Chain A
Amino acid sequence: MFNEWFPNVRMEDMITATNETLYMTLVSVAGTFVLGLLLGLLLYLTGPGGLWENKTLNWITASIVNIFRAIPFIILILLLFPFTDFLLGTIRGPQAALPALIIGGAPFYARLVEIALKEVDKGVVEAAKSMGAKYSTIIFKVLLPESMPALISGITVTAIALIGYTAVAGAIGSGGLGDFAYFYGFQRSNFDVVFICTILIILIVFIFQFIGDAISRKLDKR
C-alpha cells in the first residue's frame, strides 16, 4: 500500500535525510543558545540602566545583531562560503551549514534573550545588590534562573526557525530533508518524496515545540 502511494520513497534515504536534519538542528540550536545568550546578555547589561551600562558597546552589539538579522538566510550562506571553507575545509554537507545556521540564528535569539532579561523584576536585582552580590552572582544566580522559562520558550521559537533554515540550506547541498525534497523530489518530479519530507519536517517541528513547552512549564514557578 505504502509503496503503491509513494513509489519513489525509499526508507533508508528518508532516515539519512532526517538524521542530517536532526544533526544540523541540534548542533545549531546548541550553538545558537550559547552565542545568542552571550549577545543577549551583552545587549541587556550594556543597555540603559544595565549593570555595565555602556552606550558605545551597546551600540556596537546592537548594530551587529541588527545587520545579521537583516541579511536573508540564503544570502548569508553564500556570504559565509569563504569563512565556512576556512573553518571546515568544505562548503558541502550538514557540517558546512552549521556556521551559517548559528550566525543566522544567534542574533535572532539574542533579541529574545534581551526581552526575557528585561522581564526580570528590577527589585530582585536590587535585592541581590543589597545583599552584596557580585555582578557575576547577579547574572548566574538571579538574571538567568529568573528568566529561564522565557529563555527556553525563546530557544524553542528559534529552534523552529532553524529547522526552516536547514531546509533552505538544502539549496547549497547541505543534505537533510530540505535538500532531499528539492533535488530528489522537486527536480525529478517525485512529488511523493516532497510530501513525505514535508510531513517529517512538520513532525520534527511539533516534537521540538512540545519538548520546549514542557520544559518551560516545568521551570516556571510563578
Chain B
Amino acid sequence: MITIKGLSKIFHTKDQDVRAVDDLSLNINKGEIYGVIGYSGAGKSTFIRLLNRLEDPTEGSILVDEQELTSLSKGKLRLARQEIGMIFQHFNLLWSRTVHDNIAFPLEIAGIPKAERQKRVDELIELVGLKGRGGSYPSQLSGGQKQRVGIARALANNPKVLLCDEATSALDPETTDSILDLLVDINEKLGLTIVLITHEMHVIRKICHQVAVMEEGKIVEQGEVLDVFLHPQKPVTKKFVDQVMGDPEKETSLQLIKDNYRSGEIIRLHFVGESTNQALISDLSRKFELDVNILHGKITQTQKGAYGTMFVQFDGDEKEVERAIEYIESTSVEVEVNPHV
C-alpha cells in the first residue's frame, strides 16, 4: 500500500543541518495497522508529515497505492490528500463549526453536493459513536469526543490510508483505550490501512500489527509486534518493551523468590502468541500430581495474542515435576527451570 524508499528530510537551521528523517525505507501492507515508535526528537513526527507532504521530502520517494506522491503537482497533491485521512494530537477541529459541520468540511473541499454530505455526515457520526452530538461545538466536548470528531472528519472522503499523529497522547489512559478500540474497529470494518506514530508502547501493543522503532531519523528495528516484543535487539527497543512489560528480573529480585520458596522448583514461563489460550496452569495441576504456586508475573495482550513472563513454583514428587516440565516444553510456552539471578 505504502512503499517508501530512501526518504530523507533535512532542516536547515542557522548553526547546522538537521537530518530529521535519514534515508528511511519502509513497506506498509494494505489493511495493516503500522506503528512507528520513538522518543521525541526521533523524527517520527516529521516522518508522518512527509507521508501526505505536509513537509516536502529532501530526497526519496513515497508510493501510496501505486501513486508517486513526491512528484505530484499542487493540484494533483490536493486530490491525493483527499484519499489520505489524518488525525492529530490536539484534534485541530474548527471551533467555529459544529461537530456536524466539522465532519462536513472535507466533503465541502471535495465538492460533494449538500444532500449527499448530509447523509455521509450522519453515517460518520454514527460510526464514531457521537449520535445526538452533531449540533454541539467542539468546546462542549471532552477530549475523547473531540478525537472522535477528528476521526470521523478524517474518514469522510473514504480514504485509503489514515495517518495518526500522536492521536492519543493528549488523552487520559481510559479515553486512549476507547479511541484505540475505535481505530481497531475501523481498521477491521473498512479494511483501512493505518499508520500511527506514538511514544507509548502501550498503543503499539494494543492495536498494531507491525512496529518500527525510530531513533535519530532512522528505523533501527522493525517487524511483527510480537517478534519485537519477544526479541528486542536494540537498547532503545528494550526500553520501550520494558515500558509495558516491566523488567521482571529487575522488578523483583529472583533471589528473594528463591529464598522464600525453598522447596520444589522455580520455573520461568514465557508466553508468546496464542499459548495462554491453553489454560496451562490449570492443565498442569489437573494432569500432574503437583502444586503450582504463582509467584510473580505479567501477561499482556497484543493483536497477535498474549505475551508475558510468569514465575511459578512446582511443588511435588521430583519425577512428577520433571514430567510436567516436559509437558510444557511440548507446548508453545517457553520454559526455563531454576532461572539464574
Which listed residue (A123, A131, A145) contacts B81, Cβ 8 A? A131
Q: How far is the CA of A123 from the CA of B146 in the complex (A)?
A: 14
Say yes or no for B97: interface residue by CB 8 A criterion: yes
Judge whether A145 and B109 touch: CB under 8 Å.
no
Residues of A within 8 A of B97 (CB): 145
From known contacts A134-B78, A141-B105, A221-B139, infer whether A129 and B92 are also in contact, taking CB-CB under 8 Å: no
From known contacts A130-B54, A130-B86, infer whether A221 and B109 are also in contact, taking CB-CB under 8 Å: no
Judge whether A221 and B81 touch: CB under 8 Å.
no
Judge whether A129 and B137 touch: CB under 8 Å.
no
Judge whether A127 and B92 touch: CB under 8 Å.
yes
Say yes or no for B79: interface residue by CB 8 A criterion: yes
Which listed residue (A126, A132, A133, A222) contacts B92, Cβ 8 A? A126
Judge whether B92 and A131 touch: CB under 8 Å.
no
Residues of B within 8 A of A121 (CB): 90, 92
Residues of B within 8 A of A145 (CB): 94, 96-97
Q: Closest residue of chain B to A135, judged by CB? A: B74
| Residues from 66 to 106 in B contacting A, C-beta threshold 8 Å | 77-82, 84, 86, 88, 90, 92-97, 105-106
CB distance from A136 to the nearest CB of B (A): 11
Say yes or no for B147: interface residue by CB 8 A criterion: no
Say yes or no for B188: interface residue by CB 8 A criterion: no
Which listed residue (A128, A137, A219) contacts B96, Cβ 8 A? A219
Say yes or no for B52: interface residue by CB 8 A criterion: yes
Say yes or no for B108: interface residue by CB 8 A criterion: yes
Q: Closest residue of chain B to A147, judged by CB? A: B96
CB distance from B65 to the nearest CB of A (A): 15
Residues of B within 8 A of A123 (CB): 88, 90, 92
- Name the prevailing secondary structure of the B interface residues: mixed
Say yes or no for A74: interface residue by CB 8 A criterion: no
How many A residues touch the partner, as a band?
20 to 34
Which listed residue (B84, B96, B108) contacts A130, Cβ 8 A? B84
- Name the prevailing secondary structure of the A interface residues: helix
How many B residues touch the partner, as a band?
20 to 34
Residues of B within 8 A of A131 (CB): 81-82, 105-106, 109, 153, 157
Q: How far is the CA of A129 from the CA of B82 in the complex (A)?
A: 10
Say yes or no for A148: interface residue by CB 8 A criterion: yes
Which listed residue (A124, A130, A141) contacts B93, Cβ 8 A? A124
Which listed residue (A133, A148, A221) contacts B137, Cβ 8 A? A221
Judge whether B94 and A130 touch: CB under 8 Å.
no
Say yes or no for A196: interface residue by CB 8 A criterion: no
Say yes or no for A146: interface residue by CB 8 A criterion: yes
Q: How far is the CA of A86 from the CA of B112 in the complex (A)?
A: 49
Say yes or no for A142: interface residue by CB 8 A criterion: yes
From known contacts A132-B79, A137-B109, infer whether A126 and B96 are also in contact, taking CB-CB under 8 Å: no
Q: Closest residue of chain B to A125, judged by CB? A: B92
Judge whether B90 and A133 touch: CB under 8 Å.
no
For B107-120 the 0/1 string (1 means CB < 8 A from A) is 01110000000000
For the complex with contacts A128-B109, A131-B81, A221-B138, 11 further pairs of A-B residues with Cβ separation under 8 Å are A121-B90, A123-B88, A127-B153, A132-B77, A132-B109, A141-B108, A145-B97, A146-B95, A221-B95, A222-B95, A222-B139
20 of the cross-chain contacts (CB-CB < 8 Å) are: A123-B92, A124-B92, A126-B88, A126-B92, A127-B88, A129-B81, A130-B54, A130-B81, A130-B86, A131-B106, A131-B109, A132-B77, A132-B78, A132-B80, A137-B109, A145-B94, A145-B96, A146-B95, A221-B139, A222-B95
Hey, which bits of chain B sit against chain A, CB under 8 A? 52, 54, 77-82, 84, 86, 88, 90, 92-97, 105-106, 108-110, 137-139, 153, 157, 163
